A = this chain, B = another copy of it.
Amino acid sequence: MNELDETSESGKTGDALRAAHLYYMQDLTMDAIAHELHTSRSSVSRLLSHARASGLVDIQIRSPRDMPGRIEEAVLERHGVRAHIVPVPENASDVDRLERVALSAARILGQFFDSNMSLGIAWGSTMGALSRHLIPKQTHNSQIVQLNGAGNMRTTGILYASEILRRFGDAYGAHVQQFPVPAFFDDPGTKQAMWRERSTERVLQMQENMDVALFGIGSPFAEVPSHVYAGGYLEPEDFQSLSRDGAVGDVATVFYRADGSTDGIALNERGTGPSFDLLRATPRRVCVVAGLSKLPSLRGAIRAELITDLIIDESTARALLE
């Protein structure tokens, strides 16, 4: 039998589906399932792993309506943002924190993205971590668009933007649109020129039609600098310029002040990220944040009304409310 003919009646995926039914819906033990499928228990264990890993089994946590978390409620009321709190112990390291938020975020994202949709994504350490944990979900006619350039990435050990993009594309079976420009041009004039190119226009066009935007937050002045800043994108004088202009953070390499404004921040003239007006035109804008060091930048992003859904670790969420 040709695997192209495979349906849920047979073949690996079919078996996995059937095993999942028996295990999760009918509460059979793996032993019993092995018997029904005429295979060994170990194979069933593997089949079920496969089913979970490939998104055949979808597990959601739903808090009762009459008992939503206090934090979620407070964040919604005070900041107008739907929060998704990720429980992480107080004493967790920042790395741990990021990893765990990314794990949860990857699962939640599956609920936001579907066929016929277009997803815009930034890149950075948060997005990188997230991309490693995506749960596959087959979609049709869907697209992943890169939000901001990253042409001259050179740090080793850090994910290339294209790698992040590819992972999203693979997980969702979506068409991937890269944005082949540097994160920052040296000469604003070059940017202007590039923006008139047909290939660039096409990307910008796609960004305008996004259904979901997904991004982390950059904190140029936090103790632990973000990806962008460590990556060698910015020169000392750029930092001075940012500092002078009062920038507190960035979303997709577009910088903003504590009050959410961006006008007059010089570096943005040379950056390639989407204007906030464009972002705000996207129906769902998901921001993933882990760690207290992002807090000041996060506040700015909230004021800028960039965020509709916030996936955040518990401690940071608590701090946000103070």
Q: Mark A61-90, 1 if CB is under 8 A from B, else 0.
A: 111111111110000000000000011010
Which residues of A does B touch, CB under 8 Å?
6-9, 13, 17-18, 20-22, 24-27, 36, 55-71, 86-87, 89, 100, 103-104, 107, 115, 138, 140
Contacts of A104 in B (CB 8 A): 21, 25-26
Asked if residues B18 and A87 are in contact (CB atoms below 8 Å), the reply is yes
CA–CA, A63 to B55, complex, Å? Answer: 9
Q: A8-B67, A70-B7 are in contact. Are A55 and B62 (CB under 8 A)?
A: yes
Q: How far in angstroms is the closest Cβ of chain B from A321?
A: 13
Asked if residues B61 and A13 are in contact (CB atoms below 8 Å), the reply is no
Asked if residues A103 and B27 are in contact (CB atoms below 8 Å), the reply is yes
- Taking a contact as CB atoms closer than 8 A, the residue among B36, B87, B115 that contacts A89 in the complex is B36
Contacts of A25 in B (CB 8 A): 59, 61, 86, 103-104, 107
- Taking a contact as CB atoms closer than 8 A, the residue among B9, B18, B87, B138 that contacts A21 in the complex is B87
Q: A21-B86, A103-B27 are in contact. Are A7 and B69 (CB under 8 A)?
A: yes
CA–CA, A59 to B103, complex, Å? Answer: 18
